[in-house]
Each structure stands twice: as C-alpha cells, then as structure tokens.
Structure 1
Amino acid sequence: MATPNRPAIDAVVLDLGNVLVGWDPYLPFAGSMSREEWQRFATEIDFPLLNAMTDRGVPIAEVVALAARKGPALGDALRGYYDNFERSLTGPVPGVAEIVDELRAAGLRLVGLTNWSAETFHHAEGAAPAIARLDAVVVSGRERLIKPDAAIFRRLAERYDLVPERTVFVDDSSPNTDAAAALGFVTVLFTSAPRLRRELQRLGILEA
C-alpha cells in the first residue's frame, strides 16, 4: 500500500543473525568454560573485532593467528570456536519464518544481507531453513564489505535493482538500520517477530 508521501514497497531485505537465525557465540564453549569465563576470554582476545574481521573476509586462519599472538591457548580456543561454529546457531528465530512465507505469498522480493564469514556461512540454511526461501543472500565475507558501511548497501541495491525508498531493511543493529536509512531505505529495527509483523502491517505490506 502506498501513501501520498511514500512509494509502494516491493522488496524486503533481512539481516540473518538474530533475525532469521539465533546466534550465541558462547555455545561452542559451553562444555569447556562458563559463560563468565567466555566473557573474559572474549574480552582478552577482542572477539568482536576478530569476528568482524572474518565477516569482512579475512581468512579464519589469519584471525586465529592474531589471537595466538596473545597466547597459544587463546588461539587454540578461538580455533575451537570456528571448528564448532554450528553449535553457535540456535535455530530459527521464533515467528520469522512465517513472516518470510507471508511476504513471499504477497509477491515481495526477499533478499538477505548478513555480516557473516564466507567460511562458516554454509551452516546457515541448516540452522534456519527459511534462509533458503529468500531470493538471494549477500554475505559480507564474500563481498569483503560489512554493515554498516554504505558501500555494501549500495552494492546490494545495484546488484538486485532495489530502489531504497521501495525497500524495507530489517536488522537487529541500530547502526545498521541508521546507515540504511541514510541511504533512503525504509528501516525496521528488529526486536521480535510480533513487533516486526506490526511494523510490516503499519507499512501496508502485510495484512493486519
């Protein structure tokens, strides 16, 4: 449904991690350390930074080597995370697969845009089969660009002929939705499937 001030929406772009598929990086360590110990480990190696590097396309082996410079045991632990990465995926985020199916039935184009290592992305569809029902997925590790860099949004739009003003972008990170909004995308900050449904109804692309 279009409004006098907004063109009709014809596409939806979905983040994957913690939108379509749950992700908890502690879980590969659950048998060997407590969550508190994991937090200390993650802080010591700067896990968010190293994880972002793999999302940007840096080979996992190089990132593990960086952690090992702070101590061989730290490198071994991080290697274990990637060797057991599938354990970090907790399955479909409740209620979102149903929304994907309703959007497909409504004729919307559906594209994924995810910050994810190219080396571990093969685990995604098994953990959340709805990912396979998207028309395409742009994986940051393959592109060597990550959100919220405006360049990855521009590449997405050019590759799939998306008009930002006619495209809803859904992500659980406010820096990512802010970056997309600055480029003209209609944005929804994801917190739960019920709230996403309400926002899509408000935008007129799902029936109330």
Structure 2
Amino acid sequence: MAYDDLAVVFDLGNVLIRWDPHPAVAAGVGAEEARRFLAAEDFDFLAWNHLMDAGARWADASAQVRDSHPHWSPHVAAYGDHFALSIADPIEANVAVLRDLHAAGVPVFALTNWSDELFPQALARHDFLGLFADIVVSGAEGLAKPDPAIFERLRERIGRPLGTCVFVDDSAANVAAAAAAGMDAIRFTGEVELRPQLRRRGLPV
C-alpha cells in the first residue's frame, strides 16, 4: 500500500504529550504525599481516572472518592486543580514526526483516552494538536480504549477503513484492540524511535 493510501492515528498521552499525574498532585499536597497517593494499595488511581476517560463527570468521580476514600479526597482535588502540570511536556521527537506527516499531506488523526472536561487544557497548551483533521476524545464519546466500540466510532468519524490506518499508542491493551479492529498498530514505549517504524511502512518521515 502506498503512503498516500495511509492515514496515521495517534494516541496523545505518552505518545505526543508526556502524562505524569505526580506534579499535579504534588502541587496541592506535596511531593511525598503525591507519591504515597499514586502508589496506594487501597486506591487505584489509574482505574479511577479511566472512569472519566470513559465519560464520567469530574464532580461525580470526585464525590465518589470523598465518600469511599475521604483521606485521598484532597489528593484527587489537587490533581484536578493543577491538571495542566501533568501534561506540560511534549515528546518532541514524535511531535516532529507528526509535523512531517502533516506537511507531506498524510491524513493524521488522534484517538485519545481523555476526560472531555479536561481536554481543553491540552488544546490550549499544545498548538500541534491543531494539525489533526479530527481528534476523537473518549470522554466525549462515552467510550474508552480498549473497548472495541471506540474503534468503530473512529472509523465513522474519519470516514475511511481502519485497514488503511497506522495506529500508535503506548498501551499494550490498546494496541492489541486496535490490531483486532484491523489497524496496523504500533506500540510506542520510548525504547524504539517512532520515525523508523513509520518509514518502514513507506510513510514520508
């Protein structure tokens, strides 16, 4: 397949934007408390955060923590209040790849697990997000990766077969789900550069 038949679909967190909740939580409760919270055995922060990725409202999810884990409620509040600190740094090498693809006329899209209430902060901070023809935000769809339904939603939104898409994500589960949906899926972990992997697929980067 020639590169002009391909599109590239990017995940955002830890592919184009480093996501680290620690600085956001630490801004409100201190670094040590943030470490304790994120490593807590009695509270699964990632699972809780995924609720909002799948469309739960911030106020409802925070109230749930106040009821179930009141000792962690200030930490959750700190994360929300200082969220921008968790997405401060772009992954410059991959952003350069995105810019090169866009400049070459390759269609580029994003499929991200992100609260739709918090996503505007990413748009305000990172101008390269404006390069995408469309960004499918899980919180707005009420579906989150690796749910197979979100890949069908992606297909509907971008109007092209998923078999013509190269997908890049940092999550093994999401990559497996994308592959099952028919996409050519790449897992980006930072150990191997993205550019050569796209170049091997004939893309102009």
TM, length-normalised to structure 1: 0.89
Distance in 2 separating the partners of 1:80 and 1:72: 14
Post-superposition Cα deviations, 1:53-112, rounded to whole Å, max 9, x if no partner, equal 011111111111111123434223211211111111122112122111111122211111
| Structure with the higher helix share, 1 or 2 | 2
Cα RMSD for the two superposed structures: 1.9
Distance in 1 separating the partners of 2:67 and 2:171: 31
Whichever residue aligns with residue 37 of structure 2, its letter is F
- 2:36 aligned to which of 22, 37, 40: 40
Q: Is 2:72 aligned against 1:74?
A: yes
Whichever residue aligns with residue 141 of structure 1, its letter is G
- 1:15 aligned to which of 11, 14, 36: 11
Cα–Cα, structure 1 residues 54 and 76, in superposed 2: closer, same or farther, change >3 Å?
same
What secondary structure sits across from 1:91 in the alignment? coil
Q: Is 2:198 aligned against 1:200?
A: yes
Contact 1:21 1:127 (8 Å CA) reproduced: no
Post-superposition Cα deviations, 1:121-176, rounded to whole Å, max 9, x if no partner, equal 01112332211111110000000000001100011012211212210000011110
Distance in 2 separating the partners of 1:86 and 1:71: 24
- Unmatched 5+ residue regions in structure 1? none
Contact 1:96 1:193 (8 Å CA) reproduced: no
Q: Is 2:55 aligned against 1:28?
A: no
Number of residue pairs the alignment of both structures matches: 202
Alignment of 1:79-158 (within 5 A): 79-158=77-156
Percent sequence identity over aligned pairs: 39
Higher mean C-alpha displacement, 162-171 vs 192-201: 192-201
- 2:178 aligned to which of 160, 180, 199: 180
Contact 1:197 1:206 (8 Å CA) reproduced: no
Higher mean C-alpha displacement, 144-153 vs 26-35: 26-35
TM, length-normalised to structure 2: 0.91
What secondary structure sits across from 2:21 in the alignment? coil
Whichever residue aligns with residue 188 of structure 1, its letter is I
Distance in 2 separating the partners of 1:132 and 1:183: 26
Distance in 2 separating the partners of 1:91 and 1:60: 23
Contact 1:29 1:81 (8 Å CA) reproduced: yes
What secondary structure sits across from 1:104 in the alignment? helix
Contact 1:169 1:187 (8 Å CA) reproduced: yes
**How many Å apart are 1:39 and its aligned residue?**
3.8
Distance in 2 separating the partners of 1:76 and 1:70: 13
What secondary structure sits across from 1:30 in the alignment? helix
Contact 1:45 1:70 (8 Å CA) reproduced: no
**How many Å apart are 1:30 and its aligned residue?**
2.5
